[in-house]
Amino acid sequence: DLVLGLDELPVDDASLPRGCVPYIPAPIDKLIAIADHAGVQACDVFVDIGSGLGRAAVAMHLMTGAAAIGLEIQLPLAQASRELAARVGAERVTVVEGDAALMSSRIANGTVFFLYCPFGGDRLAKVVADLEPIAQSRPIRVCCLDLPLPECPWLALAAQPAPGLEIYRSISPVTATASTC
């Protein structure tokens, strides 16, 4: 946070929909573990679902060179995320304000998806279901922090590099032998 010039946590918007989790910043050690164990490269598109202030998307871009997309439902957080990306010169970071459960077209070019308990229940099931067609077209990785996924026969657990962190890889027959980038 000091490196990115972030001071204090923002107050969540009163209009945060039911089922969404208030903003919780991801620990940097977990983001480093994702970069390493998910093999994030400059050719990847890292999608942070429930991106808050954008620290994970910006940090992943700065660490790996990957393009990043932050999806955030709270407009004030999305605006702060855009300001952060501009302030640090992260030109390959895009922030989209909206409900991730309704925005599957905005994540279609992602290759690495990060979920740090942004929501659960029906919203989570919808987002995970939206990832399956993407995984049918190319390999993807899904990185979950403190978030158990619903059963997904098209995902295989690839690594558990830290407590609460699970990294999955798609196992579709079409993508099983394809490269990630």
Question: Could you read off the pLDDT of 15-28 as tens digits, one per residue?
Answer: 655 655 566 668 89
Residue 167 is predicted with a pLDDT of: 97
Beta strands in the chain (DSSP E): 45-49, 67-72, 93-97, 112-116, 141-145, 155-162, 165-170
Residue 26 is predicted with a pLDDT of: 82
Per residue in 43-68, pLDDT (tens digit) is: 999 999 999 889 999 999 999 999 99
Per residue in 90-100, pLDDT (tens digit) is: 999 999 998 88
Distance of alpha carbon 81 from alpha carbon 156, whole angstroms: 31
